Chains A and B, each alone.
Chain A
Amino acid sequence: DAGITQSPRHKVTETGTPVTLRCHQTENHRYMYWYRQDPGHGLRLIHYSYGVKDTDKGEVSDGYSVSRSKTEDFLLTLESATSSQTSVYFCAIKWTSGANEQFFGPGTRLTVL
């Protein structure tokens, strides 16, 4: 699975609390991505990173922030979780900039009550 892990795998939290999801890779890849998946919407890109401290917004970035202080870790933070952020979150990495092949982590199921 290309050495991608996500933690936690499941989390239940309350509205208004901060939440941080972690994506860890062991392959030293430059590009990392955070997606969310909801019924009827496929996967939607939240944020992505193209290097340490280099990040950019995706399609649905409102309410989310990211950080990448090390190549191997890409953190997704919900500053104040809302029920609309209940979703399954996937992290992905990409080998190089020259291919559309991404490898996805196992996902984190987040429930905001």
Chain B
Amino acid sequence: LAKTTQPISMDSYEGQEVNITCSHNNIATNDYITWYQQFPSQGPRFIIQGYKTKVTNEVASLFIPADRKSSTLSLPRVSLSDTAVYYCLVGDNNNAGNMLTFGGGTRLMVKP
């Protein structure tokens, strides 16, 4: 499983756009990039997943450059409720075991 590296923490203010970048230099051809969000005392929650270029849903956008060695999660106009830990994962969608490897994540603090 490809290892990921992301910042330990980030601060932002309400209404700003937040971009969290994740490095995955050893990503394999079949690997997808997935992001999860976790609030205190809760299990992680799936946010978004992509393979290349750009993916957007109602919560976030995911930007993946052509070499796929990094990805950027973009949260538009964050609010206090977006304060959470964000995990970047890389894994093979066709892996029956689907052993997701969670790193330490990025702790996002949104301030008023």
User: Does B87 sit within 8 A of A, measured CB to CB?
Assistant: yes
With contact pairs A42-B104, A43-B102, A48-B97 given, residues A101 and B34 touching in the complex (Cβ less than 8 Å): yes
Question: Could you say which residues of chain B place their CB within 8 Å of the CB of A101?
Answer: 34, 46, 49
We find that the number of chain B residues with CB closer than 8 angstroms to chain A is 25
Main DSSP-derived SS at the B contact region:
loop
**Residue A99 is within 8 A (CB to CB) of chain B in the complex:** yes
Does A42 lie within 8 Å of B105, measured CB to CB?
Answer: yes
Q: Collect the chain A residues with CB atoms within 8 Å of residue B95's CB.
A: 97
Q: How many residues of A contact B (CB 8 A)?
A: 28
A71→B49 CA distance, assembly (Å): 27
Interfacial residues, chain A to chain B (CB-CB below 8 A): 31, 33, 35, 40-45, 48, 50, 56, 58-59, 90, 92, 94, 97-107
